[in-house]
A and B are shown apart, each in its own frame.
Chain A
Amino acid sequence: MAFAYRWRMALAIVSTIIAAVFILLIPQLLGNAIDDALNFLSGETASKSEAQRQLLIAALLLFGANVLRGIFTMVHNYMGESIGQHIGYELRMAFYRKLQRMSYSYHNHVHTGDLMTRGMLDIEGVRLFVNTALLRVLLLAILIGGGTYLVVRTDLVLGLVSLSFVPIVAWRAISTRLKLHSGWRNLQEKLSILTRVMDENLSGIRVVRAFAGQDYELRKFNKISDEAQALANGLIGIRVRNTSFMSFTFMLAVVAVVWLGGLKVIDGELTVGDLTEFLAFMFILQMPVRQLGMMVNGFARSQTSGTRLFEILDLDPIIKDKPDAKPLKVEVGVLRFEHVGFSFMDEFGDEQILRDISFEARPGHTVGIVGPPGSGKSTLAHLVPRFYDVTAGRITIDGHDIRDVQLESLRRAVGVVQQDTFMFTSSIENNVAYGDPWAETETIHRATTEAQLHDWVRRLPREYETLVGERGVSLSGGQRQRLSIARSLMLNPKIIIFDDSTAAIDAATEQRIRAALKEITKERAVIIISHRLSSLMHANEILFLDGGQIVERGSHEELIAMGGGYHDLYELQIRPGDDVLSRLTGHGEAGPAADPDARPEKNSEGGNGDQS
Chain B
Amino acid sequence: MATRANRAPTEYSGRARPPHAVVGSQVERDEEMFGKAFNGHVVRRFSGFVKPYRALLIVAILAVLGFTATQLAIPLVIRYAVDNALEINNTDRSLLETTVIVLALVVLFNYLTNFIQEIVVGRTAERVLFDLRRAMYTHLQRVALSFMDRTEVGRLMSRLQGDVGALQEFLETSVFAIGDFVLIVGIAMVLIAVDWRLGLLTMSVVPALLLIRIVWLPRAKIAFMGARESSSRLNGALAEGINGVRTVQGMSREEVNAALFEEKVDANLKAQLKGTRYGQIMIPTVDTLTGIAMAIIIVVGGSFVLDRTLEVGVLLLFILYVQRFFDPIRALTMQYSIMQRAMASGQRIFEVLDVPIEVQDKPDAIKLENIDGSVEFKNVTFGYNRDQPVLQDVSFRVNPGETVALVGPTGSGKSTTMSLVHRFYEVWDGEVLIGGHNVKDVTQESLGHQIAMVLQEPYLFSGTILENIRYRREDATREEVVEAARAVGAHEFIMKLPDGYETSLEQRGGNLSLGQRQLISFARAIVADAKILVLDEATANIDSYTEMLIQQALSRLLQDRTGMVIAHRLATIRGADRIVVLQDGRIIEEGNHDQLMQNDGLYARLYSMNYASFDDIPDELIKAALSDAENRTT
Within 8 A of A (CB), among B361-413: 384-385, 387-388, 401, 403, 408-411
Q: Please tell me if A487 contacts chain B, counting CB pairs below 8 Å.
A: yes
Total of A-B residue pairs, C-beta within 8 Å: 642
Q: Please tell me if B302 contacts chain A, counting CB pairs below 8 Å.
A: yes
Cross-chain pairs A/B with CB under 8 angstroms, 30 sampled = A26-B323, A41-B312, A48-B306, A55-B303, A66-B290, A86-B269, A93-B261, A121-B161, A124-B165, A195-B160, A200-B462, A209-B145, A216-B474, A240-B119, A258-B99, A275-B82, A276-B82, A276-B320, A280-B323, A411-B250, A419-B514, A426-B26, A430-B20, A430-B22, A482-B410, A508-B626, A518-B614, A533-B544, A573-B569, A573-B610
- A442 vs B513: C-alpha distance when bound (angstroms): 36
What is the distance, in angstroms, from A244's C-beta to the closest C-beta of chain B?
Answer: 4
Q: Is the CB of A266 within 8 A of B96?
A: yes
- A572 vs B609: C-alpha distance when bound (angstroms): 15
> For B478, what are the chain A residues with a Cβ–Cβ distance below 8 Å?
none
| Minimum CB distance partner of B415 in chain A | A476
* 1/0 contact string of B60-88 vs chain A (CB within 8 Å): 00000000000000100010011001100
Whether A258 touches B103, Cβ cut-off 8 Å, given contacts A37-B305, A429-B20, A456-B411, is yes
| Minimum CB distance partner of A58 in chain B | B298
What is the distance, in angstroms, from A405's C-beta to the closest C-beta of chain B?
Answer: 13
Provide the main secondary structure of the chain B interface.
helix
Task: Across the A-B interface, give the 7 residue pairs with the lowest CB-CB distance, nearest first.
Answer: A478-B410, A70-B287, A212-B448, A373-B515, A66-B291, A437-B19, A608-B575
Q: Is the CB of A597 within 8 A of B486?
A: yes
Q: Please tell me if B217 contacts chain A, counting CB pairs below 8 Å.
A: no
Whether A434 touches B251, Cβ cut-off 8 Å, given contacts A263-B96, A507-B570, A611-B577, is yes
What is the distance, in angstroms, from B509's C-beta to the closest C-beta of chain A?
Answer: 10
Q: Please tell me if B262 contacts chain A, counting CB pairs below 8 Å.
A: yes
> For B427, what are the chain A residues with a Cβ–Cβ distance below 8 Å?
none
> For A279, what are the chain B residues with a Cβ–Cβ distance below 8 Å?
78, 320
Within 8 A of B (CB), among A464-518: 467, 469-471, 473-474, 476-479, 482, 487, 491, 500, 503-509, 511-512, 514-515, 518
Task: Given contact pairs A207-B461, A252-B104, A476-B411, enumerate 7 new A-B contacts (beta carbons under 8 Å).
Answer: A59-B294, A199-B153, A203-B459, A229-B130, A418-B250, A434-B253, A438-B19
- A321 vs B12: C-alpha distance when bound (angstroms): 26
> For A102, what are the chain B residues with a Cβ–Cβ distance below 8 Å?
245
- A581 vs B571: C-alpha distance when bound (angstroms): 13
Q: Is the CB of A115 within 8 A of B544?
A: no
> For A595, what are the chain B residues with a Cβ–Cβ distance below 8 Å?
486, 489, 491-492, 549
> For A48, what are the chain B residues with a Cβ–Cβ distance below 8 Å?
306
Whether A198 touches B240, Cβ cut-off 8 Å, given contacts A89-B265, A372-B545, A595-B492, is no
> A373: which of B74, B503, B513 is its contact (CB, 8 Å)?
B513
> B234: which of A92, A351, A581 is its contact (CB, 8 Å)?
A92
Pick from A147-155, A176-184, A218-226 the stretch touching chain B.
A218-226
Q: Please tell me if B208 contacts chain A, counting CB pairs below 8 Å.
A: no
Q: Is the CB of A212 within 8 A of B445?
A: yes
Q: Is the CB of B126 within 8 A of A233?
A: yes
Within 8 A of A (CB), among B403-442: 403, 408-411, 414-416, 422, 424
> For B286, what are the chain A residues with a Cβ–Cβ distance below 8 Å?
70
Q: Is the CB of B115 within 8 A of A225?
A: no
- A375 vs B546: C-alpha distance when bound (angstroms): 13
What is the distance, in angstroms, from B212's C-beta to the closest C-beta of chain A?
Answer: 13
- A96 vs B451: C-alpha distance when bound (angstroms): 42
Q: Please tell me if A600 contacts chain B, counting CB pairs below 8 Å.
A: yes
* 1/0 contact string of A35-62 vs chain B (CB within 8 Å): 0111011000000100110011011101
* Most B Cβ at <10 Å: residue of A372, A377, A444, A532: A372
Q: Is the CB of B569 within 8 A of A411?
A: no
Q: Please tell me if A541 contacts chain B, counting CB pairs below 8 Å.
A: no
Please tell me the number of chain A residues within 8 Å of chain B, measured between CB atoms. 221
| Minimum CB distance partner of A92 in chain B | B265
Pick from A156-164, A166-174, A391-399, A586-594 the stretch touching chain B.
A586-594
Q: Please tell me if A450 contacts chain B, counting CB pairs below 8 Å.
A: no
Q: Please tell me if B200 contacts chain A, counting CB pairs below 8 Å.
A: no
What is the distance, in angstroms, from A485's C-beta to the closest C-beta of chain B?
Answer: 12
What is the distance, in angstroms, from B376's C-beta to the closest C-beta of chain A?
Answer: 20
Q: Is the CB of B251 within 8 A of A491?
A: yes
Q: Please tell me if A210 contacts chain B, counting CB pairs below 8 Å.
A: yes
- A570 vs B421: C-alpha distance when bound (angstroms): 34
- A65 vs B141: C-alpha distance when bound (angstroms): 57
Q: Is the CB of B252 within 8 A of A204?
A: no
> For B547, what are the chain A residues with a Cβ–Cβ distance below 8 Å?
572, 607
* 1/0 contact string of A229-263 vs chain B (CB within 8 Å): 10011001101110111011001101100110011
What is the distance, in angstroms, from B521's C-beta to the closest C-beta of chain A?
Answer: 8
Q: Please tell me if B54 contacts chain A, counting CB pairs below 8 Å.
A: no
> B126: which of A92, A232, A418, A556 is its contact (CB, 8 Å)?
A232
- A26 vs B291: C-alpha distance when bound (angstroms): 10
| Minimum CB distance partner of B327 in chain A | A287
What is the distance, in angstroms, from B357's C-beta to the closest C-beta of chain A?
Answer: 12
> B149: which of A469, A532, A570 is its contact (CB, 8 Å)?
A469
Q: Please tell me if B510 contacts chain A, counting CB pairs below 8 Å.
A: yes
Q: Please tell me if B174 contacts chain A, counting CB pairs below 8 Å.
A: no
Pick from B44-52, B183-191, B340-348, B615-623 the stretch touching chain A.
B615-623
> A591: which of B291, B545, B574 is its contact (CB, 8 Å)?
B545
> For A597, what are the chain B residues with a Cβ–Cβ distance below 8 Å?
486, 491-492
Within 8 A of B (CB), among A335-375: 344, 347-349, 351, 370-375
What is the distance, in angstroms, from A565's C-beta to the closest C-beta of chain B?
Answer: 8
- A512 vs B620: C-alpha distance when bound (angstroms): 10
| Minimum CB distance partner of A71 in chain B | B284
Q: Please tell me if A146 contacts chain B, counting CB pairs below 8 Å.
A: no
* 1/0 contact string of B327-339 vs chain A (CB within 8 Å): 1000000000000
> For A62, what are the chain B residues with a Cβ–Cβ distance below 8 Å?
291, 294-295, 298
* Most A Cβ at <10 Å: residue of B20, B262, B487: B20
Q: Please tell me if B633 contacts chain A, counting CB pairs below 8 Å.
A: no
> For B100, what are the chain A residues with a Cβ–Cβ distance below 8 Å?
255, 258-259, 262
Q: Please tell me if B213 contacts chain A, counting CB pairs below 8 Å.
A: no
- A515 vs B119: C-alpha distance when bound (angstroms): 72
- A285 vs B97: C-alpha distance when bound (angstroms): 25
* 1/0 contact string of B600-628 vs chain A (CB within 8 Å): 00000110011111110101001001100
* Most B Cβ at <10 Å: residue of A92, A433, A477, A584: A477
> For B39, what are the chain A residues with a Cβ–Cβ distance below 8 Å?
none
Whether A534 touches B610, Cβ cut-off 8 Å, given contacts A52-B306, A89-B266, A437-B21, is yes
- A212 vs B548: C-alpha distance when bound (angstroms): 29
> A371: which of B97, B388, B543 is its contact (CB, 8 Å)?
B543
Q: Please tell me if A175 contacts chain B, counting CB pairs below 8 Å.
A: no
- A473 vs B384: C-alpha distance when bound (angstroms): 11
Q: Is the CB of B409 within 8 A of A509?
A: yes
What is the distance, in angstroms, from B631's C-beta to the closest C-beta of chain A?
Answer: 16
* Most A Cβ at <10 Å: residue of B444, B524, B540: B540
Q: Is the CB of B606 within 8 A of A206?
A: no
| Minimum CB distance partner of A502 in chain B | B568
Q: Is the CB of B111 within 8 A of A41?
A: no
Q: Is the CB of B252 within 8 A of A435?
A: yes
Whether A505 touches B513, Cβ cut-off 8 Å, given contacts A210-B451, A276-B82, A373-B493, is no
Q: Is the CB of B515 within 8 A of A374?
A: yes
What is the distance, in angstroms, from A391's C-beta to the closest C-beta of chain B?
Answer: 17
- A192 vs B510: C-alpha distance when bound (angstroms): 19
Q: Please tell me if A400 contacts chain B, counting CB pairs below 8 Å.
A: no
Q: Is the CB of A609 within 8 A of B545?
A: no
> A213: which of B266, B472, B615 is its contact (CB, 8 Å)?
B472
What is the distance, in angstroms, from A455's C-beta to the closest C-beta of chain B?
Answer: 11
- A446 vs B348: C-alpha distance when bound (angstroms): 43
* Most B Cβ at <10 Å: residue of A59, A88, A214, A584: A59
Q: Is the CB of B284 within 8 A of A70?
A: yes
> A74: which of B249, B283, B544, B612 is its contact (CB, 8 Å)?
B283
